[in-house]
Amino acid sequence: MTDAARADDAARTFTVRDIAVLASHIKSARRVTIMTGAGVSAASGVATFRGPQGLWREFRPEDLATPDAFARDPQVVWEWYAWRREQIAACQPNAAHEVIANWAKGVRPQNDPSMGSDHLRRTFVITQNVDDLHVRAGTPGLIRLHGSIWEVSCLARCAAGARPWRDERVPLSPCPPLCPHCGGLARPAVVWFGESLDRATLDAAVQATACDVFLTIGTSSIVYPAAGLVHEARSRGAFTAEINVEATPASSTVDLAIHGAAEQILPLLNE
Ligand code: BJW
């Protein structure tokens, strides 16, 4: 077997023991932190960015997901977001979102259930996803690194419009939408390439890397600073694990890489 074939084979396998090992770490952990990416929403029908069916196969990020792209052609960028909003509006949270929401609400399996719920036993959830399916699944305290496709803000950052507001209209009319405060152009309240993440949000995510178990789920682990969080967690002593249908740059550095679908693996960890 060639190295490539072996890697390919390894990328599609996990063992019952892998599940048992991870389940055991999760049961005995006080603080679990989960970071999710587009793969967690794939089973809901939300397009991922990379991969064979990914958005970046058809569209170039530099044409649609940068401040320069928006400055050049806000109409095209808004049409792309309006189209994605329509797709996402038709999607429902899947089993992965449900398990994560339950853990974040405090219903996480534990070694000794007779101990009852312990306020120190917490599950923190960080997501790169802008689809808000974690919110719709009821995840409390969600840290949204890249914003929300359901929020917009004033491009000119006028005094009243700098803070994002919710706009869940589908279809969007007018498109592009305008700032209700100053009448200028509004923009999607998401983080594009080359833009800084909200400082307080990133700080909260970094704080959440102080945990016993850090799970990175359904992300290609190439977009920073999100991709660095698992390394931060490991350097702070966390047991780190990845759940992904294929190998990523994180696979060789985590303590355990489980190659399977999030919506199938996460329910197994509850058993
Ligand atoms: C499944 C599955 C199933 C499928 N189950 N798994 C350090 C080094 C190098 C570069 C940089 C660096 N620091 C910053 C940068 C620049 C840049 C960056 O990281 N570039 C890299 C691409 C090289 N980062 C930034 O610009 C960030 N800003 C920043 O750092 O500011 C300071 C700064 C700026 C410039 C220079 C230096 C510092 C901002 C990043 C913003 C990312 N924005 C987007 C768009 C959001 C809005 C929108 O949706 O339109 O965020 S891009 C896109 O990628 C989106 C995602 O959140 C993000 C990550 O994608 P994700 O979630 O990983 O999805 P995929 O599709 O890539 O992967 C899906 C995975 O799921 C795959 O692995 C599948 O196998 C798997 N999967 N089904 C489990 N059922």
Binding site membership of 50 for ligand 1 (Cβ less than 6 Å)? yes
Q: Which two tokens stand for residue 78?
A: 């808004």
Catalytic residue ranges: 146
Best substitution site from 49, 145, 148, 243 to test ligand 1's pocket, by max atoms within 8 Å of Cβ?
Answer: 49
Side-chain-side CA neighbours of 105 within 13 Å: the count stands at 12
Give the model's pLDDT for residue 186: 97
Distance 128 CA to ligand 1 centre (A): 8
Binding site membership of 196 for ligand 1 (Cβ less than 6 Å)? yes
pLDDT of 4 higher than 70: no
Q: Which atom of ligand 1 is nearest to the CA of 223?
A: 19
Chain segment 133-184, per-residue pLDDT in tens: 999 999 999 999 999 999 999 999 999 888 999 999 999 999 999 999 999 9
The single-letter code of the amino acid at 264 is Q
Binding site membership of 150 for ligand 1 (Cβ less than 6 Å)? no
Give the model's pLDDT for residue 89: 98
55-64, long-range: CB < 8 A, 24+ apart: 61/193, 62/193
Sign of dihedral through CA atoms 200, 141, 241, 197?
A: negative
Binding site membership of 199 for ligand 1 (Cβ less than 6 Å)? no
Query: If pLDDT is split at 50, 70 and 90, which confidence band does 243 have?
Result: very high
Beta carbons within 10 angstroms of residue 173's beta carbon: 8
Tell me what percent of the residues of the chain surpass a pLDDT of 70: 93
Alpha carbon distance 70, 187 (integer Å): 8
